[in-house]
Every structure is written in structure tokens, then in C-alpha cells.
Amino acid sequence: MSTKQRNLDGKTAIVTGSSRGIGAGIAIELAERGVRVVVNHVSPRSAKSGEQVVEKITAAGRTALLVQADLASMDGIQKLVQETVNFSLDKKIDIVVHNAAFGDDCYLEDVTEEFYYKQTDTNLKGPIFLTQAILPHLTTSGGRIVLLSSISARMAFTSQTVYAATKAGCEALARCWSAALGKKYGATVNCVNPGPVGTEMYWESDPEFLKSMEPIIEATPAAPRVGEVSDIVPLVARVDTQALCYESEFSQSLGQEEIFSTRLTKSAQESVDPSSSGFASLAAQMRFCYYILPPPPGPRVENLA
């Protein structure tokens, strides 16, 4: 087992919406690295697929707990947090990955109040109040919070008025929380912005949206194809490890050429070659830079080891 894996042994993570797709991949990857993973699914309909994720994790000798909780509900959020605390070895929560999302397409002319709240409750209310609820239980040795955004936050897909707004909101949350939670809780907050990934939710999208993605996919330099879950998972796992213990508000677009990031304190700007990063599967010409924060005073680094 690698050092990276040992650093995560025994830690506890919540991965929301992890009964399938990207969330399932993230849950399995974190479990492989030694994390005790709470696999969250929203409704009874997704119970079977959630059970399959847990079975895959436990079959590999790792530990996982399946929790049904609707993140659009305050009761559901409290249930998820309490069951996670009970599941944790030290009653602390180390990692939260906000992956759950309601992503149905709808043109502006057809948006109803019900549709609006269904998306915003899951995609924005859920992350906000789940993060609020875990703060009293967040590890003091540097927690990790990751939000899943989407290229829809930055591109004009006409059928995604509400969805795009919620995903842009996730990026705004990362910026706000990286400042607020970094100073007060020693936590990092990062946002991963996937391009088109061939999950069930993607293939169930509006046909016009899928057609609009074709030229974007064809223009991707390294591999003109729809992304795979395995393209996204390593990056999310990376921001949950010690490697980014001083990096916060890291927003990366996968499948597009734009990657940007900012940091709480800008020092020692460093350009990174994505070809050596292990997660530049889709775009050979992806560019990004990040800021390395100087280690803070105190024992936090030792606690992370």
C-alpha cells in the first residue's frame, strides 16, 4: 500500500449521491485508499445500486455504510450526519464529497417553481446545509470538502438554465468556504468541474444537449470522446489526500482547455504539467496553475501524517 493510501487509513468520508456514476466511482476509490466510506443514496429506487457499491467495497476488504437520505430535506441531512458520526471510529468526519445532483434539462419557457426547487434544493441547499451540519464533527487535523460542479456552469447550454445556475453556485461556495473554513477549521474546500462524462444522467439528457456536446467532444485535443468516471475519480481522490493539505478552492475543468484556481494566500506560483499529473485524460493542452501555501504554525502537518 502506498504512503498516500496509508494517510487515509481509518478516516471517514461522506460521498453524496454515490449509488451510481461518478459518486460510486469516488466512493470505491476512497475505500481502496483506506477510507471508511458512507455511500449515500436519495430514494428507495436507488437502494439496490447503492447496495452493489457497498458490496464491491466490502468484497475488497474495505468498510462502507449505506445510508438513504434525501439531501433536499433537513431531516435527511441530519440523519446522514448522525449515522456517519456513529460509523466513524473517532466520531469525526474527515471528508465530504458533494456529488449528489438533480440534473434534468428544462428550457426557460418551461421552468416551473416545482422544477426550480427540485434542482436548487438538491444541488445548492443540500451542500450548504450538509456542510453546516458536519462542522461540529469535522476533524481538527484538516478536513476535506469537495464539490462537484460541471462545465454547464461556464457554457451556454440552452436547456440548462437552472442546472447551470446551481453548478455555478457550487463554484461560488468553494470560493467562500475556502476562506471561511480554512481559517477557522483548518479545512480545504475544492471544486471539480467535469466535462461530459458518460454516466446514466448524461445519456438521459435532452437530445439537443447531447447533440450540442458533439463538436466540443470532437475538439478535445487528447481524446475526442465522452469522458469516463475513471477520468474524474483520481482528481477527486487527489484533493482528499495530504497532497493538497494547503491547497483550497481548486476548480478544475476536465474535458475542456480551461483550468483555473485561486488560493487564500498567493505565494510561490507554480505551473503544473498536466501530462504528469495522472488525471489529464481528456485534454492534452489543459493548463493550470496553483498557489502553494506556506505551512501554518502549529502541529497540523504532523497530525495529517
d(CA 224, CA 226): 7
Q: How many CA atoms lie within 13 A of 138 on its CB side?
A: 21
In the residue annotation, 56 being an active-site residue is answered as no
149 in active site: yes
**Residues facing 259 on adjacent strands:** 252
**Residue 271 designated active-site:** no
Number of CB atoms found within 10 A of residue 43's CB? 9
Give me the half-sphere count of Cα atoms (radius 13 Å) on the Cβ side of residue 198: 9
* Per-position b or e across 183-194, b if 16+ CB within 10 A of its CB: eebbbbbbbbbb
11 in catalytic set: no
Cell of 164: 447551470
Phi, psi values for residue 43, rounded to 5°: -125, 165
Q: Please identify which of the residues 163, 202, 290, 291 carries the catalytic annotation.
A: 163
Question: How far is 20 from 101, CA to CA, in rounded Å?
Answer: 12
Amino acid identity, residue 142? Answer: G
Q: At CB < 8 A and 24+ separation, what contacts does 268-274 make?
A: 268/292, 268/294
- Give the DSSP letter string of 191-260: EEEE--B-SHHHHTS-HHHHHHHHHHHHT-SS--S-B-HHHHHHHHHHHTSGGGTT--SEEEEESSS-EE
Active-site residue, selected from the candidate residues 149, 251, 253, 281: 149
Q: Which residues does 279 contact at the CB level (< 8 Å), separation at least 6?
A: 231, 232, 234, 235, 238, 254
Annotated active-site positions, please?
A: 149-150, 163, 167
